[in-house]
Structure 1
Amino acid sequence: MKSPFDGWYEKAGVRTDPRRVIRDEMATGRTLFPEALIPYLHHPLVRELEPDRRFGLVARHFYQYMQFTMHFETSVVNRAAARIADGTSGLRLPGAARLDAYRIYCDEAYHALYSLDIVEQVRDATAIDVPAYDFAPFLGRLDGIGEEVLPGEPVLVQLLQVVVFETLVTSILKDVPKDPSVIDTIREVVRDHAEDEGRHHAYFAAFFRELWQGMSPALRERAARCLPELVGRSLTPDLVPVRASLRAAGLGEAAVREIVADCHAPGLLRENVRNSARHTFHLFESVGVMDVPGARDAFTTAGLL
């Protein structure tokens, strides 16, 4: 595995980036999150809301994204990174690859730290409360895939989870830093995250090749049939905080149901999953996942190809 972490001590965000601090930016009238990336914000029922209520929706969407990031980095990525680093992943990896996994562990812990830091800063700057966020149901759905589709392989499921997530290319890390409508501090935080994630993407793409080659043909077939469900669940948005935010904006239950149904229709969700996972699918193709009997049919049935 060729290391993408050469120069990590000089380049990694945890080693070099300053703490990003909001100062007087809220007075500029700019926003906290690109409005084009909030699916329900332009729904007719939401456009009718007063500006302060719409801004509250943006703030809560920002909180949700940052809190998801915080929990995901520590509960999913670092769970797998620790296994790779301490030698309990099931793969015999050279020491250099295990050291890189610990570098990822450090990166992700720092991402979690500054995600919570910026949430606290925005709360203080806007006086908009941060809703409680429960990550356990999402993690339960991810881990449940193993129990349903790949029973008896909980460690492999954890490794596949991190491969899927760390090879996705979502619009948030790519688009937020370039959006001048967003306050600079948030753009800088997301840019810092994106720079580290580029190295993580390269690492886990190489790791997956090692992981796949180390599986028996029978296990490859089982894993290949697990991957469509894993990709789909990984990218399906958690609508519980969305509904709660819409209610907090003063919308009634009928309006909330209509907005969610319109903006998160199954066809739209599948299209978003396909777009975000295209690099992951290319990785699967390149290592031979799609050549396993039944794999391509499983991805097609799931609406991912």
Structure 2
Amino acid sequence: MNAANYRSFADDWERRATIRTRPRRLLEDDTKFIFPLCRQPLVLTATFLEHCPQWRDFVLVQSFYKFINDVVIFETEIVDKTARNIAKNRFSPAFPLACRYDAMTVMVDEDYHALVALDFLQQAVKMTGIEPLDLPGQIELSRALPAAQAQVPAHLHDAVELICVAIAENTVTHDVAAFSRDDSVKSSIRGLMADHLFDEGRHARFWTQLVHIYWQSASPEDRDSIAQALPIFLAYYLTNDLQKSFDLHLIEHLDISADTRLALRNEIEALAFPITHQHPLIGNIMGLLQHSGVLQTASVAQALSDYLPVSGGLA
């Protein structure tokens, strides 16, 4: 694909974007979870189940607040910034007007997702009476993006940002899809996730197209420079350090014995999620790099060889 073959989704956005088609969703006061148990390892530890299961709902509510906070940071501080610069022709490389128009719709969608997320946070506080603890000021992408950009010359910072945001948007789509299918969670929250997914599928295709357009025009030298930045990005992006820090912070706010607190800390510290080709998001990331043409570049395949299955990823 080159810029002349770019397929705009403007008409689809006009007909189907959730900001145009979805009513406000209201949080139900029922017995279903506000956050999936499987996404909060703390409540599944042996120590928690044996010694403080009464704190489960508090932990899940706080985990929901963190999720909302992460969404707001991701949508308004990172994706919005990249899309805005593309839309306003402040990005290098510059993209055609059709791409820039679509980037503007991405901005609108992402800010709307953040607005809806904050609405749910307010509803949850009112319903549960549980105020949010201090929430992280960063997400993994906040650290991963500058770490990757630091590996390349300044003229490639925008290109690295484009590729990293494209990776993040594609993995968010995967993550949100899993959340939306969890029947243990309140219907309104699954609906929120389904709405988000509806827009993110369109966004994922948009970013894939833009990466494809850029990569076709990039020089071999620039491609090779970017290749060396991608493993750095993945190492920061796929870490669970921020989640672990949040869980340790949560433990400090539980009214439990010192022995139980220490045991919980030890169990959380022991959790390990190795970043290999078996990581649940790696397949999704490699799919994006494959479909956009990036992974077909030899230097990229070599740089990411640790993340590819033994059989390779260039078929």
Same fold (TM over 0.5): yes
In structure 1, the residue matched to 2:73 is 71
The correspondence of residues 150-299 of structure 1 with structure 2, limited to 5 A, is: 150-152=152-154, 153-168=156-171, 172-237=175-240, 238=242, 239-250=244-255, 252=258, 254-263=262-271, 265-267=272-274, 270=276, 274-299=279-304
Q: 1:41 to 1:51 in 2, by over 3 A?
A: closer
1:30 to 32, 43, 53: 32
Higher mean C-alpha deviation, range 284-293 or range 29-38 = 284-293
Identity %: 27
CA distance in 2, matches of 1:4, 1:99: 10
CA distance in 1, matches of 2:273, 2:21: 42
**Count of residues in correspondence between the two structures:** 298
1:36 Cα offset (Å):
1.7
1:235 Cα offset (Å):
2.7
| 8 Å CA contact retained: 2:173, 2:201 | no
- Aligned to 1:7, the other structure's residue is in SS state helix
- Deviation string 1:1-58 (CA, Å, 9 cap, x unpaired) is 1123423122111111111122xx32x2111012122233211012124443011111
1:66 Cα offset (Å):
1.1
- Deviation string 1:247-295 (CA, Å, 9 cap, x unpaired) is 22346553243222333x143x5467x3223232123234443344443
**Structure 1: stretches of 5+ with no match in the other structure:** none
1:3 to 8, 24, 32: 8
| 8 Å CA contact retained: 2:177, 2:197 | yes
Letter in 1 for 2:99: A
Q: 1:294 to 1:94 in 2, by over 3 A?
A: closer
1:83 Cα offset (Å):
1.3
- Aligned to 1:149, the other structure's residue is in SS state coil
The correspondence of residues 11-90 of structure 1 with structure 2, limited to 5 A, is: 11-22=16-27, 25-26=28-29, 28-90=30-92
- Aligned to 1:65, the other structure's residue is in SS state helix
Q: 1:43 to 1:271 in 2, by over 3 A?
A: farther
In structure 2, the residue matched to 1:131 is 133
Q: 1:4 to 1:296 in 2, by over 3 A?
A: same
| 8 Å CA contact retained: 2:144, 2:233 | yes
Q: 1:260 to 1:161 in 2, by over 3 A?
A: same
Higher mean C-alpha deviation, range 82-91 or range 195-204 = 82-91
Letter in 2 for 1:14: I
2:103 to 97, 101, 104: 101
| 8 Å CA contact retained: 2:70, 2:139 | no
Higher mean C-alpha deviation, range 60-69 or range 241-250 = 241-250
Q: 1:147 to 1:256 in 2, by over 3 A?
A: farther
1:141 to 140, 143, 146: 143
CA distance in 2, matches of 1:151, 1:50: 51
Higher mean C-alpha deviation, range 95-104 or range 144-153 = 144-153
1:162 Cα offset (Å):
0.9
Higher mean C-alpha deviation, range 235-244 or range 78-87 = 235-244
- Aligned to 1:275, the other structure's residue is in SS state coil
1:140 Cα offset (Å):
4.8
**Structure 2: stretches of 5+ with no match in the other structure:** 1-5, 310-315
Q: 1:270 to 1:129 in 2, by over 3 A?
A: farther
Letter in 2 for 1:241: F
CA distance in 2, matches of 1:182, 1:228: 35
Q: 1:249 to 1:145 in 2, by over 3 A?
A: same
Give RMSD over aligned pairs: 2.3
- Aligned to 1:82, the other structure's residue is in SS state helix
CA distance in 2, matches of 1:171, 1:37: 14
